[in-house]
Homo-oligomer: A and B are copies of this chain.
């Protein structure tokens, strides 16, 4: 299946309208194995679309995140970054703070934590945030 068809289907399945800009946005994110800010995505897309509002990029990225198609990356500078995550199912990420590459992590120990919370706090867990920061092999070598 061609990639664009895949993105087309993806949007359809989410009940979102298939617009050229959305397809292009998915394409940009899908080809990048690194996390990008909305502004960076916007700059890339403006090459193809002279008329493209930054708010549109923000809106779409937020929407895609809500639907689980892309995932947020937490950064100490408190800006928004997103990463297109081809892997499905529950998992987490290792992000390189230098080159921004993202690697999936299959291990998730939140289940154990959840147990501890249920037992001790008797509370309900609704979500969790887990991100491992560091330097990938390439970037660690350069230091």
Q: Taking beta carbons and an 8 Å cutoff, which residues of A are in contact with B?
A: 74, 78, 92, 94, 96-97, 103, 105-110, 112-114, 116-117, 120-137, 139-140
A sample of 17 more A-B contacts (CB under 8 A), given A117-B134, A130-B130, is A74-B129, A94-B113, A94-B123, A96-B123, A97-B126, A103-B120, A103-B121, A106-B116, A109-B109, A109-B113, A117-B132, A122-B136, A124-B135, A125-B132, A126-B135, A127-B132, A129-B132
Q: Which of B120, B122, B133 contacts A128 (CB 8 A)?
A: B133
Q: Which of B113, B117, B132 contacts A113 (CB 8 A)?
A: B132
Q: Name the residue of chain B whose CB is nearest to the CB of A103.
A: B121
Give me the 7 closest cross-chain CB pairs, A-B, nearest first: A109-B109, A122-B137, A125-B134, A123-B136, A124-B140, A128-B132, A127-B133
Q: How many copies does the complex hold?
A: 2
Q: Are A109 and B112 CB-contacts (below 8 A) given A127-B134, A129-B130, A132-B128?
A: yes
Query: With a CB–CB cut-off of 8 A, which chain B residues contact A92?
Result: 113
Q: Contact at A134–B123, with CB atoms within 8 Å?
A: yes
Q: Contact at B128–A131, with CB atoms within 8 Å?
A: yes
Greatest chain B CB density within 10 A among A78, A103, A132, A137 is at A132
